[in-house]
Structure formats: structure tokens, C-alpha cells
Structure 1
Amino acid sequence: MSNDITPSQEQALLRLLGKVMEVMRDDRPLDPDDPAFGTLESAEFFKPGEAGKTYSFRNNAFPDATVDLSTWTNPLDYSDDRTRVSAVPAYFHLRFQHPPSRVNRRLLEQRLDLADYWIGADGTREDGNDIGHSLPPFTREHRYRYRANVGEHGRFPVNVEFFFVDPAPDDPTGKIWLTQITIDRDYPYLTPAMRKKKREEQNKNQKNSKPTSK
């Protein structure tokens, strides 16, 4: 039985990823009931006492795949009481139990409007997208990392990573398999102490911006 991706599967994959990109860029709000994601199977709180959830879907085009989209308590809201802070989209993960082959990586890059560079954890720009193979024992796993181009209305930077598996040396088919895709909104990392400092700076700026009475 062939595992080559079918035209209908390809369209379903592009529709799913396109919708995720719109949500992560903030071009549109997250609607867990949108059929592009599939059928919502569960919605579990990400962390007790906070608003973030992980939504898990079943997509009929890839019924054995894991399709998760996580929201986090808004990192850009510096409120001390995190139970009162709303959730925002943060991370998407698609993992195939039976990886499809012959997925056109260039088509994915084009349709998702991905740049020819990626951004490291320290904010450094790295040119190119091929970051090579994973460490043993996953030496055939080939990773490609991207920063998405800024959308027309998007307010957030978005990172994308593709995981492919290259053919074994003795594989005459030469097929390459798509195993995972991750998409995340690039929020700054803030500890409670860092958030407190940001909150104090924000309050100070708001106080200084108020007009003085004459």
C-alpha cells in the first residue's frame, strides 16, 4: 500500500496549516470548531489556575495523526493575578503516525509564505532553512526551520519547523517522509520577576503619560 500523499490529503494539509498560520499571525481569532482543524476531541487546561488550553483534533484526511493547538495565558499581559488573564494561541504540533511521502516542501514554504531564514532563541538571524540531521539514533531525520514572513495584518512573529525522514541508503524508492510540523507564535520568555518589572514599567509609563492639571 502506497503512503504517497493524495491530492485530497494535500489540500486538507494546506487548508489546516493555512488556518493555523492565520491564527498564529493574529489575522483571525482561534475557532476550535473550524472544520479546517478537524473534529475537536478534547480541550484540556494547559496549567492549573491559568487560562491556556490544549485543543486536540481528529482530522479525517490523516486519521492517525496527532493534531494539537495550545493556547497560553497571555505572556504580554503583565498582570500579577494570572487567573484573570485571557488565553492566546501559542503552539501547534502535527505528528503523523503513518508519515506521508512525496510531500512537496517547496509548496509548503510558498503557501505558508515562509522566509529563507530563521531566528535563534537568542534573537540571532540565521540564513538558510536546512539545519541538517538530528543526532543519533535519528540520523535520517532532516529538519528545516523558518521564520514566517509578516502577514498583511499579522501582529506576531511566527516560527515554523518541518521534520522529514530521508530514505535509507538501501531504499530504491528514494522517498522522503514528512513526520512532523510545528508552528509557534514567538512570545518573549518572562519569569514572574521579569513580568513584575515589566508591570512596574508599564504603570510608570501610564502615570507619566497622564496630562497634568493646570
Structure 2
Amino acid sequence: MSGNITPSQEQVLLQLLGKVMEIMRDDRPFSPEDPAFGKLKSSYVIKPGEAGIHYSFANSAFPDAKVDLSMWTDPLDYSDDRTRVQAVPAYFELWFHNALAGISRRLLEQRLDLASYWVDEKGVREEGNDMGVGPPPDNLLHSYWYRANDGENGRFPVDIELFFLDPAPNDPSGKVRLDAITISRVYPYLTPAMRKKKREEQNQKKPQTYGYMELCTGATCPESGTVWKSIALKG
């Protein structure tokens, strides 16, 4: 059973999604105490020995909804010791146990500033957003995929998925209902071996970036923690 979204619920929903977009796209700080998410219900470490944390919230405007945000160990930090790497926002999911009618897909596209295309795992741009309905028994679940526009303060690419339930053939209301929304920051996939290669490439570039400096042998670079070698400058 589903109900019509109320004006107050719509306001809460748009405020929540706007906050998530700022966090994911613009790299605004995230706090699990932010009232836009609701009340923190639980949290747990995603992977032992790393910084990633999964948060679940209870939102009074949608008491039956699943409201989750996951922080991952920063994929763009190539450090070998993952226990010293910070956690960064990665994935948000809002799933309505009772799908809501009366929320316009066009309104969500406009307010979240979504592009008319999506990007696949290989980085290839695919035009259009309508992915159609799923196979039985999910033949009423209609999905739409998007890449968000960069925005004025955008620092990261963001992917969004909207899931609606199409009306059943015997549904007299004929209403489309919002079922779920996912918002994810796009990070490159890196294995430990790939991180090691990136780390080595980064270290090789440092002399070019900072220039050759006459430092005492054994001095430690304050940024990388590596030991500098004494280099004689040419006159």
C-alpha cells in the first residue's frame, strides 16, 4: 500500500536530497548529527582495519523508509596503511517501504540538476535516462539512470538512480509511485597493486613538482613521509 506525498514530506525530501548532493558532489562536510538525515539509528565499520563507516537513520517524515549513507576509505589516497586514511562520502540510499505517489520525476531531475545521459563503468557516455522496467517479478519497477551536472561548486562526478513503480494494470488510480533513490560519488576502482603503482608514480613526480633542494641526507619530507636524498645542485 502507498500514500500520496504531503507538501511537508516533499519539502523534507528535497531538503535531504539537496544536502546529500552537496556532500557527494561539492564535498561539503558530512555529520551524522545533521537533522536533514533524521536521527542516527545505527553505525558500523564496513571493513575492519579501514576507515569506512555505514550510517542508518530514522527520519520522522518517512518512518518506514530506509535512509543510509556509507563512507569509504578514501580511494584517492594511495597510502599503503589504510588505517591512517580518512573516510569519505561514497553512497546514499533512500528506500520507501511504502512507495509514495505524487512526487514528480521531472521535479527531482530539476532540483538535483541531472543530465540527460548516464555514464557506464568504462566511462562511456550513454544518452537517455529511461532504463525501462525490470523482469518479472519486478516488471513494475521502472529505473532511470543519471549523471549529475557538475554544478557551480562540483568537485566530484555523481551518479543517481531513481526507481519508480508503474501502476499495475488493475490499479484504478493509475499513479506512478516513487520507490527508491540512490546517489553515489564516482571513484576510480583501485586494487592494492594499482594503488602501489599510483604511489610510486606520485613519488617519482615529487622532485619535478618541488624542484631539487639541497637537503641533509635522512631528512623526512613533511608531505609524503619519505626520506629525502641529498642532491648536489649544479651551479
TM-score, scaled to structure 1? 0.97
- Aligned in 2, Cα 1:2/1:51: closer, same or farther, shift over 3 Å? closer
The answer to whether the Cα contact below 8 Å between 2:2 and 2:99 also exists between their aligned partners in 1 is no
Aligned pairs for 1:152-191 (under 5 A) are 152-191=152-191
Q: Which residue of 2 aligns with 1:203?
A: 203
Q: Work out the CA distance in 2 between the residues paired with 1:191 and 1:112.
A: 32
Query: C-alpha distance in 2, partners of 1:204/1:4?
Result: 59
Structure 2: distance between partners of 1:144 and 1:5: 20
Question: What's the CA shift for 1:23?
Answer: 0.2
Residue 64 of structure 1, CA deviation: 0.8
Give the aligned partner of residue 25 of structure 2: 25
Q: Secondary structure of the residue that 1:89 maps to in structure 2?
A: strand
Alignment of 1:35-114 (within 5 A): 35-114=35-114
1:120 aligns with 2:120: yes
- Shift in alpha-carbon separation, 1:2–1:141, aligned structure 2, 3 A: closer
Q: Secondary structure, in 3 states, of the residue corresponding to 1:136?
A: coil
Provide the residue aligned with 2:141 in structure 1. 141
Residue type at the aligned position of 1:198:
K
Supply the AA of the counterpart residue of 1:109.
E
Q: State the shift of 1:80 in Å.
A: 0.4
CA shift, 1:208, in A, is: 3.0
Amino acid at match of 1:175: K
Gaps of 5+ in 1: none
Deviation, 1:99, is: 1.1
Bigger relative contact order (CA 8 A; separation at least 6)? 1
CA contact 2:2–2:98 (8 Å) conserved in 1: no
Question: How far apart in 2 are the matches of 1:205 and 1:190?
Answer: 20
Between the two proteins, the alignment pairs up a number of residues equal to 214
The Cα of 1:2 is off from its aligned counterpart by 6.6
| Whole-angstrom distance in 2 between the partners of 1:207 and 1:55 | 41
Alignment RMSD (CA, Å):
1.2
Q: Which runs of 4+ in 1 moved over 4 A?
A: none
For the pair shown, the structure with the greater C-alpha radius of gyration is: 2
**Code of the aligned partner of 2:13:** L
What CA distance in whole angstroms lies between the structure 1 residues aligned with 2:187 and 2:117?
18
Distance in 1 between residues matched to 2:30 and 2:112, nearest whole Å? 17
